[in-house]
Amino acid sequence: MTDPQIGMLMLGLFIFIIMLGFPIAFTLIAMGVGFGYYAYYTPGQEFFDNRVLTLLVQKAFEVSSNDVLVAVPLFLFMGYLIERASILDRLFHSLQISMKNVPGSLAVATMITCAMFATATGIVGAVVTLMGLLAFPAMLKAGYDTRLSAGVVCAGGCLGILIPPSILLIVYAATAGVSAVKLYAAAFFPGFLLAFLYVVYIIARAMINPALCPKLPKEQTDIPTSQVMWALATSFLPLALLIVSVLGAILFGLATPSEAAGAGALSSLVLAAAYRSLHFQMLKESVYLTARATAMVCYLFIGSWTFSAVFAVLGGQHVVENFFLSLNLSSTQFLLLTQAIIFLLGWPLEWTEIIIIFVPIFLPLLDDFGIDPIFFGILVALNTQTAFNTPPVAMAAFYLKGVAPPWVKLSDIFSGALPFVFMVFATMVLVYVFPQIVLWLPDYLYTPR
């Protein structure tokens, strides 16, 4: 076999092994070292003199010293603290009573709460689970349609994948070698456009068929304005200030993502203390979960970068590149094909594996097709949300099913989430047709004049 053939065997064998359920990070490292030993072997060398071992150490050092990745544990820590600070129930209640005259008020309040909380945490499982415990029963008790209620929670919980400060965008920036600050600016309008479309859809459904979202009883909506304002001031305002401060510092160049994440983590400690939720057990859990998630991301990077380096040395990357170029695709066709592949990969894989392992295969081809890597990254971030809500896997649906009342069927959750998946696709179409939705803000903020 030629080296390129061995490279493709390496890729195919990796996909087969992860389908069997082996840990992805350690599979990457093992295969990178195993095939790398062949790729870097020279006759007569000692066993431990093979350069693949040096490569593994080098990649581990690159990950541990990467300035961009420092933001990952800090944003995660901020998110886990906010998740445990009893903010969500206050926020949902204040939004609910302030939107009492909006059609589908409970569902709209749920979506806005999801958007804000997802922005603060970026952890899909946490947002869907917490909203499934808080907002989903409230909507069901008010007589809201089960499928619509489930779709609101599942779709809203996934917004943190795209809306800054998204962990996915930090990981993509490190993978693609692009500016995380520009990525955040590029994601700003698409993220809130998607959230806006979700809210418009909810209100439209409530207006067309009021039986889906019955009006709340008068005793739940007849609340003095002063009480509504106080509820917003003590729940919505502090979290909004935290989010705006972190994002504003990043977007306007006042701080790097890592510095802003550090300030955000400190502010979340203060916020938790202000809500009297800060205690040793909560802090211990937040640190543990942050360390576990960060270790997973780091090991994935070490394995992926080792695997990719060996794959390139064997010539596998040239085989992939030549294959795509031989198809004579236009830029549009290339984007459609790559997004279809990423959509399918989202069923068996988490977004971390997609971004760190498979997206780098497409990145060298972007120049050939004249595609901006920042624009491509935003499309990937949009696309990745669909995997959480598309059967047969749809992890957001399974998160919700785990905390929903026993009589709620998984099929109802699936069918409720699908209309929101179509809105993600609609947003992707809008982004492609009007690329300035993505590119205007980073160009305006960071292009020298």
* Average pLDDT over all residues of the chain: 84
Contact 445, 251 (CB under 8 A): yes
The better pLDDT of the pair 357, 428 is held by 428
Instruction: Give domain status of residue 3, yes or no.
Output: no
Rounded-to-integer distance, Cα 136 and Cα 179, Å: 38
**Percentage of the chain modeled with pLDDT above 90:** 11
Q: What is the pLDDT of residues 197-220, one digit of tens each?
A: 999 999 999 999 888 888 877 666
Rounded-to-integer distance, Cα 404 and Cα 414, Å: 13
pLDDT-derived band at 436 (thresholds 50, 70, 90) equals very high
In the chain, what's the furthest Cα-to-Cα distance? 85
Q: Is the pLDDT of residue 254 over 90?
A: no
Please give the single-letter amino acid code of residue 381: A
Average pLDDT over residues 344-364: 79
Q: How many domains is the chain partitioned into structurally?
A: 1
Rounded-to-integer distance, Cα 304 and Cα 240, Å: 36
308-335: b or e for each residue (b if 16 or more CB lie within 10 Å)?
Answer: bbbbebbbbbebbeeebeeeebeeeebb
Instruction: Give domain status of residue 44, yes or no.
Output: no
pLDDT-derived band at 143 (thresholds 50, 70, 90) equals confident
CA–CA distances in Å: residue 67 to residues 110, 170, 171, 179, 223: 36, 11, 12, 12, 49
For the chain, the distance separating the N- and C-terminal CA atoms, rounded to the nearest angstrom, is 54
pTM metric for this prediction: 0.84
CA–CA distances in Å: residue 340 to residues 175, 334, 368: 20, 10, 19
Q: Is the pLDDT of residue 97 over 80?
A: no
pLDDT-derived band at 221 (thresholds 50, 70, 90) equals low
Range of the domain at 221: 51-446
Contact 410, 152 (CB under 8 A): no
Q: Is the pLDDT of residue 4 over 70?
A: yes
Q: What is the pLDDT of residues 145-169, one digit of tens each?
A: 999 999 999 898 888 888 887 888 8
Instruction: Give domain status of residue 17, yes or no.
Output: no
- Per-residue pLDDT, 220: 61
- Per-residue pLDDT, 121: 66
Q: Is the pLDDT of residue 224 over 80?
A: no
Instruction: Give domain status of residue 7, yes or no.
Output: no
Q: Is the pLDDT of residue 375 over 90?
A: yes
Contact 88, 157 (CB under 8 A): no
Instruction: Give domain status of residue 281, yes or no.
Output: yes
Instruction: Give domain status of residue 28, yes or no.
Output: no
- Per-residue pLDDT, 449: 62
